[in-house]
Amino acid sequence: MKGPTEVLAAREVGFAYRGGRPVLEDVSVSVTTGRNLALVGESGAGKTTLLRLLLGLARPTAGQVLFDGAPIAPRDRAFRRAVQPVFQDPYSSLDPRQRVERIVSEPLRSLGLLSGSRAARREEAADRVAEALRSVELPADAARRYPHEFSGGQRQRIAIARAIVCRPRVLLADEPVSALDVSTRARVVELLAGLAESHGLTVVVVSHDLSLVAALCAETAVIEQGRVVEQGATADVLGSPAHPYTRKLIASVPRLSRAARLR
Ligand SMILES: Nc1ncnc2c1ncn2[C@@H]1O[C@H](COP(=O)(O)OP(=O)(O)OP(=O)(O)O)[C@@H](O)[C@H]1O
């Protein structure tokens, strides 16, 4: 049987913003097909920066980011198609002047995935948008409407539809539910977990929410001040944390720390 495939990886990566001190040092993480990965750590630890490097939006100042085993070429269409972002805030990430159909189909156009005559391209885009909206459990008529007509949770579903419309292999999501109210969060997390299963997607998620991490991610990497201090199976990392920093993170979530004590 074929073993797990590494699709995306950071190898001994370092990064500093122009003129600043290093915000990532010697960071290695591996994204394996079918094993969702959480990046956790306190504010300012470098999680978002690492996500940007994995997306090819910034280049490491040391080490390498690999896609399918080779250094990433951020402009390479195969890479851009395979690795898609989901942004944090569905209120600001969707253009209010565009209909949902236009928003969701944007990656198809920018990646040049539509072919044939104008009419054929339009039809293909409409079909792919309908399929993506079905996948995120939004009604088909959502395509004709504008973002302001939707709730926060529905808007995040639109953002997820846009991320999956080009059938990527990896979703990189930065705090994907933190802008939503608590009851909506659980449903969006369920949706992401379901999509990962049904679409063969691997999700990399930055989150402060350890219950989200436990529900969605098989793997967890803990980042403290730009360094990975602990990583492994989420059950081990959250269930029996080896590093004091991880214990501190868990202790700051009352329900989880109680569950960990009961083990
Ligand atoms: N554009 C930038 N220019 C300079 N420094 C930056 C920039 N973006 C982030 N930083 C700094 O890099 C460090 C890591 O920030 P980053 O946003 O990656 O952390 P984070 O773990 O995602 O935090 P949070 O959970 O608050 O989003 C911080 O010290 C931050 O101030």
| 207 C-beta closer than 6 A to ligand 1 | no
Would the pTM of this model clear 0.90, i.e. be above it? Answer: yes
Please give the Cα distance from 76 to 137 (Å, whole number). 31
| 203 C-beta closer than 6 A to ligand 1 | no
SS3 letters across 195-228: HHHHHCCEEEEECCCHHHHHHHCCEEEEEECCEE
Kindly list the strands in the beta sheet with 62-67, ordered across the sheet, starting from the edge strand earlier in the chain.
Answer: 22-32, 6-16, 62-67, 70-71
Please give the Cα distance from 236 to 218 (Å, whole number). 10
Q: What is the mean pLDDT of the chain?
A: 91
Partners of 217 in the β-ladder: none
What percentage of the chain has pLDDT greater than the value 70?
95
With left for phi above 0 and alpha for psi between -120 and 50, is residue 88 left, alpha or beta?
alpha
Please give the Cα distance from 31 to 158 (Å, whole number). 25
pLDDT at 139 over 70: yes
| 48 C-beta closer than 6 A to ligand 1 | yes
Residue closest to 98 by CA, chosen among 148, 61, 157, 37: 148
The residue assigned the tokens 């949706």 is: 191
Tell me the C-alpha to C-alpha distance, in Å, between residue 142 and each of 72, 120, 134, 157, 177.
35, 21, 10, 11, 21
Q: Which atom of ligand 1 is nearest to the CA of 208?
A: 25
pLDDT at 263 over 50: no
With left for phi above 0 and alpha for psi between -120 and 50, is residue 132 left, alpha or beta?
alpha
Domains detected in the chain: 6-91+169-262 (3.40.50.300)
24 C-alpha vs ligand 1 centroid, how far in Å? Answer: 10
Angle at 82 between CA 152 and CA 151, to 5 degrees: 5
Q: Residue 126, Cβ neighbours under 10 Å: how many? A: 14
Tell me the C-alpha to C-alpha distance, in Å, between residue 220 and each of 30, 78, 166, 193, 210.
10, 27, 27, 15, 10
Which is higher by pLDDT, 19 or 164?
A: 164
State the pLDDT at residue 261.
54
Rounded to an integer, the average pLDDT of 181-198 is: 90
Report the DSSP pairing between strands 83-86 and 170-174.
parallel
- For 59-91, what is each residue's pLDDT tens digit? 999 999 999 999 998 789 999 999 999 987 777
